[in-house]
Amino acid sequence: MSSRTARLQPSRPWPAMPNRTTIAAWCFLAPSLIVLAVFVFWPIVYSFDLSLHKWKFSADAQEWAGFANYARMWRDARFWNALGNTVYYTAFTVPLGVALPLALALALNRAIPFRALLRSAFFLPVIASFAIVALAWRFMLDPDIGLLAYWLSFLGMPHVSPLRDPNLAMPAVIIASLWKNLGFNMVIYLAGLQAIPIVLYEAARIDGANSFQQFWNVTWPQLRTTNIFVLVISIIGAFQVFDPAFVMTPGGGPLFSTETLVTYIYRQGITNLNLSYAASIGIFLFAVVFLLTLAQLRITRSWED
Amino acid sequence: MKRIAALASASIVAIAATVCGSAAFAAPLTFWNGFTGPDRPTIEALTKQWSDAHPDTPVQMDIEPWDSMLQKLQAAMASGSGPDVVAFNFAQLPRYAESGFIMDITDEVKAGGALDPSVWSDGLKQVLQYNGKYYAAPLNFATLMMYYNKDIFAKAGISEPPKTWDDWVAAIKKTTVTGSNSQYGLLIPDHETIPNWPILLWGNGGDVIKDGKPYLDDAKTVGALTLWGDLVLNDKITPTGLSGADADKLFQSGKAAMEITGPWMTNGFTAAKLNYDVAPIPTGPGGPVTLADSIVLVINKATKDPKAALDFVAMWNSKAAQLKIANDTGFPPLRTDLSGSPELTNEWAAKFSTVVPVSRFSLPNQVNFAQIDGDVFTPMIQSITFGKEKAAEAAQQANDQLSDLLNP
């Protein structure tokens, strides 16, 4: 409620001292701006420059290549495969990564036994390093010594080896990622749920709303800003997926079925030393994520109006 | 109080003098490598031995996994820094030699002193060179052999390891069991592994590259791909999409009859109390052959002490060092004059050294080794073994890609 009341107050006009305040503002911004400039903006500019050259390991001056690296992407089947895999991954992890944590948050927002324990349990994988989580999943899914194979053997089912199967490798990576990230979005939703004023539910109940109607008319609209945040962060994260695919299925997985844009960038840049080509894919990814984020903000802003 | 202060300042001066003094007089030689496995103690012991004998230039060793070491190395070398000496797989050499980051040691090798090339096999000599010049000295040498599970062989009624491809295929089929209690005849890993498939191509007289030209569309190469691809796809002699580490694990758990790998696995298999032995890889129509591999030592061109670096590199080539490596780790000695030596007391080293004469390096002198292996060869093998394409089609397509890579 406090944020609402704050917004209702008339904004105080700033004193007419633009110079001093501007200087102060820049001073406050400087530390973050410098860090961002050195570690974010400059690398982006440099990568773009790199993508326009034909970088060679030891050359003193790098040969100009124009947009040849971008033209190469167009013809490169491995690039399209990696893009397709990334979209596949995003198409499943984002909707499920929103729906499941929301359901969990709704369940754990009630007074149920062992609530704190359950919340911690679901959040625990978030703290663990993805490399370790991916290794654990790799072990679980191992067809010869893994847990899954062991359980399936009791049911008399044949051995499955998801990580060695071109059709099952990506679903396995998706499931592992969902499990790992579930807790993060759950906590965000819990915070969102707790910020919803109780009076709204009381009013709804007085009006005779059932629990679905309460969810649809109170909870869901009230979670709008949370949804925007979760969606934007999830899509950006999904497009940049690296660790689970890289650790669970090294080398791009069977028939490159788990090779994503970022693992392909790694492959081209670090393994093959095609730094310029890797940079051009990086710039492409940057553009995609940038446009997606812009579009999302545009769409979600139109919801607000 | 004054006395205490004086004492304290005196001791600070003394400490400072010692610290600065040692830094000024002993300039350490930096050495990067990736020996994180069971051979680490041997590498450390030999390095320490050399450091003790050279107190002015003790070696400061940095051991971390090969992958991360190589990533760091690229950046370090490109920025003109980096260690004085590096050990890496021979496949890395062409790239670094071409870039001009590592020292040409042709004169030292030709002089025939501590780095006498006459004790190296022809294959080893080839991979130590780039464009006719020596850029590296060997640290170790490995050959691959066929490991077989004696219990599985006995149960299948196979009295001795197969010697020809016909007997081999029969033994593989006999020991392959499909269904819920599956067992594999021969594990053939296809990625993240010491190369297995090239041996099968060579065994049939085929190759990946021959005389600098793509050779994947050759009839004998396609013949090998067809034969073994069919055994994988239809007879299920191995799981598909297997990595080298997965294959080792499977063999160690007793679920496979045979595996082709190097001497580094003997420690683990013995510790797991597996009843196994090794035999030469059965001979195909193309004659007896196996894969050779070597970790080589290169010197940073920017080193401040090339003499000490050369001396350190040469140490690994000595009879004493090679005997210690062989007897500690089971690797065959890289010196041909130690083959069959009575001082070679490690039984595995003795066995693996018997196949040295028929061993070959995969893709020697290829600057684009990583691309050829990871972007052309592995996808071709997977395409065949997953049944996506027929061997001839996949081979033709890979041959075209290879041709582009070799003639950019």
Q: If you average pLDDT over residues B287-303, what whole number do you get? A: 96
What share of chain A in percent tops pLDDT 90? Answer: 63
Average pLDDT over chain A, rounded to an integer: 88
| Residue range A164-174, pLDDT digits in tens | 999 999 999 99
Cross-strand bridge partners of residue B277? B148
> For B156, what's the count of Cα atoms within 13 Å in the CB-facing half-sphere?
24
- Compare all CA atoms of chain B with the CA of A139 and give the residue at the minimum distance: B246
Task: Please report whether residue A240 resides in a domain.
Answer: yes
- Which residues lie across from B143 on neighbouring strands? B292
Cα distances (Å, whole numbers) of residue B359 to A249, B60, B135, B197, B362 = 31, 34, 22, 14, 10
pLDDT tens for B313-326 read 999 999 999 999 99
| Residues of chain A contacting residue B95, judged by C-beta atoms under 8 Å apart | 57, 273
Return the domain boundaries, chain B: 28-141+294-361, 144-291+368-406
ipTM above 0.85, yes or no: no
Which of A16-20, A65-69, B130-134, B352-356 has the weakest average pLDDT?
A16-20
Beta carbon pairs, A and B, within 8 Å: 71
Mean pLDDT over B331-335 rounds to 93
User: Which of B180, B375, B379 has the CB atom closest to A153's CB atom?
Assistant: B180
What are the pLDDT digits (tens) for B161-171? Answer: 999 999 999 99
- SS3 label, residue B215: coil
Using alpha carbons, select from B84, B128, B19 the residue that is nearest to residue B304. Answer: B84
Q: Tell me what pLDDT residue B17 has.
A: 42
Contacts of B255 in chain A (CB under 8 A): 144
**pLDDT value at position B25?**
53
A47-61, A102-116, B210-224, B330-344: lowest mean pLDDT where?
A47-61
- pLDDT score for B10: 47
Cα separation of B140 and B84, whole Å? 19
The mean predicted confidence, pLDDT, of chain B is 91
The CATH number that domain B144-291+368-406 falls under is 3.40.190.10
Which of B178, B243, B373, B377 has the most A C-beta neighbours within 10 Å, making it the best mutation to test the interface with A? B243
Question: Is B404 in CB contact (< 8 Å) with chain A?
Answer: no
For residues A62 and B386, the model is more confident at B386
| pLDDT band at residue A16 under the 50/70/90 scheme | low
Quickly tell me which residue has 């005779």 as its tokens: A208
Sequence-ordered strand ranges (E) for B284-393: 290-293, 295-299, 359-361
Are B239 and A165 an interchain contact pair (Cβ–Cβ within 8 Å)?
no
Q: Do A164 and B241 touch (CB under 8 A)?
A: yes
For residue B75, the chain A residue with the least C-alpha distance is: A57
Q: CA-to-CA distance for B245 and B209, rounded, in angstroms? A: 27
Give the Cα separation of B264 and B142 in Å (integer): 9
For the cut 80, the answer to whether the pLDDT of residue A159 exceeds it is: no
Measure in Å the smallest separation between the Cα of A31 and chain B Cα atoms. Answer: 28
**A293 lies in some domain:** yes
B96 to chain A, closest Cα gap in Å: 9
Per-residue pLDDT band for B159 (boundaries 50, 70, 90) equals: very high
Packing angle of the helix pair A130-140, A169-194 (nearest 10 deg): 130
pLDDT per position as a tens digit, B191-205 = 889 999 999 999 999
3-state helix, strand, coil in chain B (%, to 5): 50, 15, 35
Between residues A305 and A239, which one has the greater pLDDT?
A: A239
* CATH class of this structure's domain B28-141+294-361: alpha beta
* CB-based contact A166:A257 (threshold 8 Å): yes
Residue A144: closest CA among chain B residues belongs to which residue?
B250
CA B187 centroid distance within chain: 19
Dig out the tokens for A263 from the structure. 């693992």
User: Which residues in chain A are closer than 8 Å to B246, comparing Cβ atoms?
Assistant: 142, 164
The β-bridge partners of B114 are none
- How far apart CA B323 and CA B45 sit, in angstroms, is 13
Interface contact A58-B101, CB threshold 8 A: yes
In the prediction, which pLDDT does A14 show? 56
Q: Do B255 and A144 touch (CB under 8 A)?
A: yes
- Alpha-carbon distance A47 to A284, whole Å? 11
**B383 at the A interface (CB within 8 A)?**
yes
Compute the nearest-CA separation of A172 from chain B (Å).
Answer: 15
Mark out the alpha helices in B122-164 (DSSP H runs).
122-127, 150-155
Chain A interface includes B9 (CB < 8 A): no
Preferred mutation among A76, A138, A144 to probe B, highest tally of B CBs within 10 A: A144
Residues B54-73 have a mean pLDDT of 92
Eight-class DSSP state of B211: T
Query: What is the CATH classification number for the domain harbouring A198?
Result: 1.10.3720.10
Q: Residues of B with CB below 8 A from A56's CB?
A: 99
Of B74, B374, B386, which has the smallest distance from its Cβ to A166's Cβ?
B386
> Tokens standing for B235?
């007879």
* Residue A221, amino acid: P
CB B99 within 8 A of CB A57: yes
Residue A73 has pLDDT above 60, yes or no: yes
Q: Considering only CA atoms, which of B281, B235, B236 is closest in space to residue B258? A: B281
Does residue A225 or residue B262 have the better pLDDT?
B262
Give the CA radius of gyration of chain B: 24
Q: CA separation (Å) from A187 to A118, A136, A235, B157?
A: 12, 23, 18, 61
What is the nearest CA distance from A42 to chain B, expressed in angstroms?
18
Under the banding of pLDDT at 50, 70 and 90, the label for residue A5 is: very low
Cα A73 versus chain centre, distance: 24
B155–A contact, CB cutoff 8 A = no
Rounded to the nearest angstrom, the gap between the alpha carbon of residue B102 and the centroid of all alpha carbons in its chain is: 20
H helices, E strands: number in chain B: 18, 16
Q: What mean pLDDT do residues B39-53 have?
A: 95
Domain extent, residue A247, equals 66-131+166-304
Q: Is residue A89 part of a domain?
A: yes
Question: pLDDT value at position A181?
Answer: 92
In a domain, A141, yes or no: no
CB B141 within 8 A of CB B292: yes
Query: Would you say the CATH fold of B144-291+368-406 matches that of B28-141+294-361?
Result: yes
- The whole-angstrom distance between residue A195's C-alpha and the CA centroid of its chain comes to 24
Report the percent of chain B where pLDDT is more than 90: 80
Segment A44-64 shows an average pLDDT of: 86
Asked whether residue B1 carries a pLDDT value surpassing 80, the answer given is: no
How many structural domains compose chain A?
A: 1
Of B160, B172, B234, nearest to B200 (Cα)? B172
How many Å lie between the alpha carbon of A56 and the closest alpha carbon of chain B?
8
Percent above pLDDT 70 for chain B: 93
Rounded average pLDDT over B52-79: 91
Q: Are B165 and B199 in contact (CB under 8 A)?
A: no
pLDDT bucket at A15, cuts 50 / 70 / 90: low
Q: B33 pairs with which residues across the strands?
A: B63
Q: Which of A57, A78, A270 sits opposite B99 (nearest CB)?
A: A57
